[in-house]
Every structure is written in structure tokens, then in C-alpha cells.
Amino acid sequence: MTAAITAQELDAQMPDASQLLSDEPEMESSLHYFQLMLLVACLELAWQDRQDFFIGANLTVYFSRQQLKNREFRGPDFFLVKNTERRHRNSWVVWEEDGKYPDLIIELLSPSTASVDRNLKRRLYAERFHTPEYFYFSPETGEFAGFRLQLDQYAPIEANERGWLWSEVLGLFLGIYDQQLRYFSIEGSLLPTPQEAIQSEVAKGLAEVERERRRAVEAEREVERERRRAVEAEREAEQERLRAVEAELALQALRAKLESLGVNLD
């Protein structure tokens, strides 16, 4: 007869699945790879001061041991889990992460995956994952759609006048810019890539240097104007002095002439 064991003893016998490696194929094209890099890099930069999230890029989400055995349903191209520890993971193992599933998923459509992404995965993410928001985007055709969970079913997210979709999970818009899926702030500003942020800072620095140069040139010109005004004032003063001397000499000459004529000016 097999001895009964406690739940704690059973748990101690279970293997640690937290180090499971991802089992995802490579991105189908450089367009897909670059799009995925954009989504990760821009959000990592925007949330660089936060430590309460995890971004999965082409990583497997292991959500059941049966799924692990059957190797069913590969992971999303991009997913976000909030209210978790920001650290490296080889994959996302739900039962090793307090049962947490992704809060947001983005799939990058390709000819070989589009049907699965639009249908099978959409149902899986709604009915099994209960992921609040699901988006998909084709880097090749520009097809873009987003959905929000309502009672285990996804309802389309209505686009604004720019064609952007609001993500409550992100607190950002998702929209197409230069044929790529990008993030936008609620005010409508494009969230930059690290390279764009550096270029922006360099541009701001160069603009500030140029403003300082112009201020220095203007200050130098003002100094020159003040010098010229001082020289002009000195010249005017000298001319006044000369006129006063000339007037004094003329007065003395007149006095001398009058005296020579016998006119007593006293």
C-alpha cells in the first residue's frame, strides 16, 4: 500500500520548471525581427525606471504540463506581464510565476501564421489565457487589429481618427508609423527608440550649443555697439570741447577788438 504524502511533500518532488528553455522558431523575415526589436526597445526605454514588468520576445509561454508534453501552441511574438519581477527568463512558465498569464499579446502576422494568429491563438488567448488585450500586425501588408477581453471573448478596439488603437494595459496608443507598429503617448507623441532618443538628445544639445553661440555673438555685437557708442560719445564730447574753445577764442578776439576801439566792456 502506497503511503499518503502531503501537498508540501508532493510539491518538493516536482521538478523546477522555471529554467525551461523557449522552443520558438526564428522570426520569418528581417521585417519581423526588426518590428519585434522596435516593440521591445521602445517600451523598455519608456519604462526604464520601472521594475514591475516582463517583456517576452518570441518566447514560449508554458501554461500546462499537458501542453509541455504535447508541444502545443507556441509562444506569442511579443507579450507583456505586469506586476512581476523585471529579470531575465528563458521562457514564461505560468505555474512557476504564481499563475500569471500575459496582460497583453502582439502577434506579427506572416503568410504561414496569419490564419492561426487570427483564429486559434485569438481563442486561446481569450478563453485560456484571459489576456486582457490582443493585437496583431503584419509587417509586410500593414494589416493591424486590436481586441479587448469581454467575458472570455475579444471585442474589437475602436480606432481613433489617426487609426491608432488605445491600450489600457500600456496606457499608450498603438499605431502605424512609417510602415511599422509603434507606441504613442496619450498626447500623441511618438515613443522613441534608443537610437532616436540619442539622436534627439544630440539634436537638442547641438541646438543649445547653437543658441549659446548666437547669444555669444549677440553679446559680442552688443559690446561692439557699446564701444562704438562710447567712442561716438567721446568724439561728441571732444567736438563740444573744441566748440567751447573756439567760442572762447572768438569772444576774446571780439573783446580785444572792442577794446582797441575804445569800448570799455567793464
| Domain residue limits, the chain | 7-191
For residue 222, CA distances in Å to 210, 212, 234, 236 come to 18, 15, 18, 20
Out of 93-97, 140-144, 160-164, 240-244, least confident range: 240-244
CATH code for residues 7-191:
3.90.1570.20
pLDDT at 14: 45
Question: Pick from 107, 156, 161, 100: which is nearest to 131 by CA?
Answer: 100
Per-residue pLDDT band for 13 (boundaries 50, 70, 90) equals very low
Q: Which pLDDT tens digit goes with each residue over 146-181?
A: 999 998 899 999 999 999 999 999 999 999 999 999
Contacts of 31 (CB under 8 A, 6+ apart): 139, 140
Average pLDDT over residues 230-243: 84
Dist CA 203 CA 150 (whole Å): 45
Q: What predicted TM-score, i.e. pTM, was given to this entire model?
A: 0.73
The backbone torsions φ and ψ at residue 225, rounded to the nearest 5 degrees and listed phi first, read -65, -40
pLDDT at 11: 46
Q: Which amino acid is at 182?
A: R
pLDDT at 71: 62
Q: Which pLDDT tens digit goes with each residue over 99-148?
A: 999 999 999 999 888 998 999 999 999 999 999 999 999 999 999 999 99
> In the predicted model, is pLDDT for residue 254 greater than 60?
yes
Contact 147, 154 (CB under 8 A): yes
